[in-house]
Amino acid sequence: MSFTAKDVQALRQATGAGMMDAKRALEANGGDMENAKQWLREQGLAASAKRSDRENTQGVVALAVDGQVGALVELKCETDFVAGSEQFKSEAEALAKLVAAEGAEAAAARQTNLDDLKITLKENIELGRVARLEAAAGQVLDSYLHVQGGRGVNGVLVVLAGGDSGQVGAQELRSLAHDIAVHIAFARPAYLHREDVPQDIVAAERSTFEAISRNEGKPEAALPKIVEGRMQGFFKSSVLVDQAYARDDKQTITQILGDASVVAFAQVAIG
């Protein structure tokens, strides 16, 4: 079966392949367009497998919020050029909407799309971290997405409850949730409460601080108090409710919350 320059162009438009690759595909498949598409896909996936060990520290974070449900998806790639492309960002947005609608496991349904994207954009592209939060009745969900160079790079979801006294109105609670989300984006807490910090991490930090203090020549009798002080510093840097508020470091997040409370938070950031 013969083919023309128009066939080559049509195959390029359908697959995103280069001119010579499209021509080779048609030659290898006797001009059959569908077989040529499959051939290109197989060849592209083979090339993608070779890229799988290449570092992919760039990418985009997409955010989707639908009522009381929010989702964050990290789509990873190798370069900021690809990360900023409309095709790449659109796929990340589609993934986030799918996760918001159907759950984190639903992202696997778009693996074929990711495989095709690897072929078209010729980079090691893969799904990174995925987060989904849902607010119950009486709670509010809000979000923040930090955009840099035209793409999302740092996303946060927060669910807040108003407390038993009812002192915080719905609109005020939503505004507070947004403020907390912005704080989390830049302060990057790892845990919500001190109890959430795994005991092995607490023990390791305590041991490290004790070794540092000894190496500094601190008196043995003073070590417990010194280590405890440093542990307080660790909690204040890594536990959300203990952190100093980003907009007013004279107040902690607990003080900013007042009668409200953080039910859950999630953060997904590039790098």
CA angle 42, 43, 47 (to 5 degrees): 115
What is the residue whose two structure tokens read 């498949």? 29
Inter-CA distances, 134 with 130, 233, 247, Å: 14, 32, 27
Contacts of 103 (CB under 8 A, 6+ apart): 132
* 39 and 132 inside one domain: no
Full DSSP string of 77-105: ES-HHHHTSHHHHHHHHHHHHHHHHH-GG
175 and 90 together in one domain:
yes
**Do residues 163 and 47 share a domain?**
no
What pLDDT is attached to residue 163? 64
> What residue numbers bound the domain in which 226 lies?
198-238
Q: Please check the confidence at residue 118 and state whether its pLDDT lies above 90.
A: no
The string over 150-181, giving b where at least 16 C-beta atoms fall within 10 Å of a residue's C-beta and e elsewhere, is: ebbbbbbbbbbbbeeeeebeeeebeebbbbbb
Helices (H), 3-71: 5-15, 19-28, 33-51
Identify the DSSP state of 152: E
3-class secondary-structure state, position 150 = coil
pLDDT tens digit sequence for 20-48: 777 888 888 888 888 887 777 666 644 44
- The count of domains in the chain is 3
Confidence of residue 149 (pLDDT cuts 50, 70, 90): very high
Q: Please, are residues 58 and 79 in contact by the beta-carbon 8 Å criterion? A: yes
Which of 157-161, 169-173, 205-209 is least confident?
Answer: 169-173
Same structural domain, 225 and 94? no
pLDDT digits (tens, 9 = 90+) for 206-220: 999 999 999 999 999
Q: The CATH number of the domain where 23 resides is what?
A: 1.10.8.10
CATH number at residue 209: 1.10.286
From CA 7, how far away is CA 30, in angstroms rounded? 12
Give residue 165's pLDDT.
Answer: 46
Length of the chain: 271
> Where is 224: in which H helix or E strand?
helix 223-238
CATH code of 142's domain: 3.30.479.20
- Please give the share of the chain, as a percent, with pLDDT higher than 70: 90
The enclosing H or E element of 161 equals strand 151-161
Q: Are residues 168 and 72 in the same domain?
A: yes
Same domain, 88 and 12: no
Same domain, 135 and 18: no
The model carries a pTM of 0.78
* Residue 129, CA atoms < 13 Å, CB-side half-sphere: 17
Both 231 and 262 in one domain: the answer is no
User: Is the domain of 19 the same as that of 92?
Assistant: no
Nearest-angstrom CA–CA distance, 267 and 132? 10
- pLDDT of residue 56 exceeding 80: no
Q: Are residues 63 and 38 in the same domain?
A: no
- Beta bridge partners of residue 158, listed in sequence order: 142, 265
Same domain membership, residue 234 and residue 246: no
Beta strand 244-245 pairing with 248-252: antiparallel
If asked whether residues 82 and 102 sit together in one domain, one would say: yes
Separate counts of helices (H) and strands (E) for the chain:
10, 8
